[in-house]
Amino acid sequence: MDPHQRFCNNRSCWAYGRVGEGHIVIHSKKERRYKCKRCSQTFSATKGTALYRSHMPHDLVAAVVTLLAYGCPPQAIVAAFSLDERTIYRWQLMSGRHCQRVHEHIVQAGGVLLAQVQADELRVRVVGGVMWLASAISVTSRL
Ligand SMILES: [Zn+2]
């Protein structure tokens, strides 16, 4: 547990999003909770991640999300790990939201080194028109 890597998760706190400024301290090592010195709120180490409020082993969640990312069908994961299908969909939703927040925080804030970027486009004909999809990725950070 490193409180210097964390920031306050309370959006109304002025320390929200400020990493490494000493606002966060360890509240409980056993329960893996942090505390903000500015607003006195506590939060768990997994707050804001796909692991938040998950009682399953974190390695299992990571394995399931990785399988989903590589296109494994949820029904196969249900059969292999004996999990509920709703649990898998919730983990997928939570990890997607986490990835979206990381993307907004790092990529859209200009925190990616753009020395070398690979860009690609895709043209798809659909009924009633043509759709374009463009993507770009930084070679060094893969963001
Ligand atoms: Zn706070």
| Each residue's pLDDT tens digit, 99-127 | 898 888 888 888 788 889 999 999 999 99
Arithmetic mean of pLDDT, 44-69: 90
For residue 123, what are its two tokens? 């043209």
For residue 18, what are its two tokens? 């400020």
Helix (H, G, I), strand (E, B) or coil at 138: strand
Q: Report CA(24)–ligand 1 centroid distance (Å).
A: 8
- The amino acid occupying position 98 is H
What pairing do the DSSP bridges indicate for beta strands 42-44 and 117-126?
A: unpaired
Q: For residue 61, what pLDDT is reported?
A: 93
Q: Report CA(52)–ligand 1 centroid distance (Å).
A: 18
The neighbourhood of ligand 1, an ion, using CB within 5 A, equals 8, 10, 13, 15, 36, 38-39
Reported confidence tier of residue 88, pLDDT bands at 50, 70, 90? very high
Reported confidence tier of residue 49, pLDDT bands at 50, 70, 90? confident
The more confidently predicted of residues 42 and 51 is 42
Q: Report CA(106)–ligand 1 centroid distance (Å).
A: 21
Q: Report CA(55)–ligand 1 centroid distance (Å).
A: 26
What's the mean per-residue pLDDT of the chain? 90
Nearest to 33 by CA among 57, 3, 56: 3
Q: Report CA(22)–ligand 1 centroid distance (Å).
A: 11
